[in-house]
Amino acid sequence: MRKAVLFLVTLVAMTIFASCGSGGNGYYEPQEELPPSTGRIFLFGEIHGSVATMDRQLEIWGDFYHNHGMRHLFVENSYFAAQFLNMWMQADDDTILYQLFEDWRGTAKDVPHTLVFYKTIKMDFPETIFHGTDVGHQSRTIGQRFLRYLIDNNLQGTESYRLTRENMAQYNRFRREDSHAVRAYYKPLNFTREFDRLGNQDIMAIHGGAHVDFGDFQGYPGVPTMATTLRDRYGDALQTFDMRYNAVRYVPYREPYRIDTITVGGIDFEASYFGNDGARFNNITGREFWRLENAYEYFRGSRLTGSVLPFDNFPIKVEIGQVFVIDIHFADGTVTRGYYRASGLYWNGRPSTQAFTP
């Protein structure tokens, strides 16, 4: 832990922003605008949780690290989670990493290969410095624990303390307004703050594929994606790479929480229930998943609606010949039920289920 304290004190000493509060409204706004960095950004979009993608990212980072001298890796984590990762990089054991992984249970990072990914970086690329650009997810766990660490070490007046509080305020606004447009607004601000302070250093960044697309953010007309905002600021210094196609998200085998009976088309089916994923986007507040057992032959000829849902949206491994019932919950309390079958369709290069009318 002594190494971790030394690292954090060094980080604080490099502060280039004024150490001040975020204002009475609790919203983060940039404290001081720096000139744009003259370095280059190599921005990679991914499907979260894909083992093959993480392995390829390690290969790419290894090339950047060893052959091009890069040391700064931007990740879609909170500010304070990235600071914990930097402390862990200096620690003698993996206690910090395992605590982070425990706090990531139920998120897209909750796959065993996440541990392999970070441990490989620590072993093979030990001078890597992480930068978190997302709003403050896990504020009540990781965020509060990092604040306690700062307070216990008399670091309340530092930039790290201020940015942690601001990052938590960003997340609170995101949840309060229940809008991913809030994330789309804050992520570029966080990114440019971290990047511009580096001056002229090249960096690699790994984020979800939706943030690497150009144009408007999904479902929010007039709200630019992170890549769009970064391109407007840095021009050709930004290079984007889409790693979503042909990536398969790793989903461990899971037993159903319970076995229900669902009647579809006048037939009772055994339905394995796999819970609510808690997904929050647009006005959706969660999706419940059932797998109808031995149902495919009944519905293989049913009329398709034209809607698709990629396999990586499901909380379990999807196989060809399966049928699913999904209840979509909305913020106003309404619930819409949909029916999906896995028939071997690839949509935009991704294995996907197709919605049908029973």
What pLDDT digit, counting tens, does each position of 209-245 carry? 888 888 888 777 888 999 999 999 999 999 999 888 7
Measured in degrees and rounded to the nearest 5, phi and psi for residue 182 equal -65, -45
**Is residue 7 over pLDDT 50?**
no
pLDDT surpassing 50 at residue 357: yes
pLDDT(162) > 90: yes
Sorted by where each begins, the domain ranges of the chain are: 2-242, 258-357
Per-residue pLDDT, 52: 84
Residues 175-188: tens digit of each pLDDT: 888 888 888 899 99
First-residue to last-residue Cα distance in the chain: 59
Number of H helices, E strands in the chain: 10, 12
Give the pLDDT band of residue 31 (cuts 50, 70, 90). Answer: low
Query: DSSP 3-state assignment of 255?
Result: coil
- Give domain 2-242's CATH architecture: 3-Layer(aba) Sandwich (3.40)
- pTM here? 0.70
- What's the CA gap between 328 and 336, in Å, rounded? 5
276: which strand partners? 288
For position 252, what pLDDT does the model report? 64
**262-273, pLDDT tens digit by residue?**
999 999 999 999
Contact 186, 22 (CB under 8 A): no
The single-letter DSSP state of residue 243 is -
Looking at the DSSP assignment, which residues form a beta bridge with residue 46? 208
Per the model's pLDDT, the better-predicted residue between 20 and 104 turns out to be: 104
Average pLDDT value for residue range 144-148 = 96
- What pLDDT sits at residue 6? 35
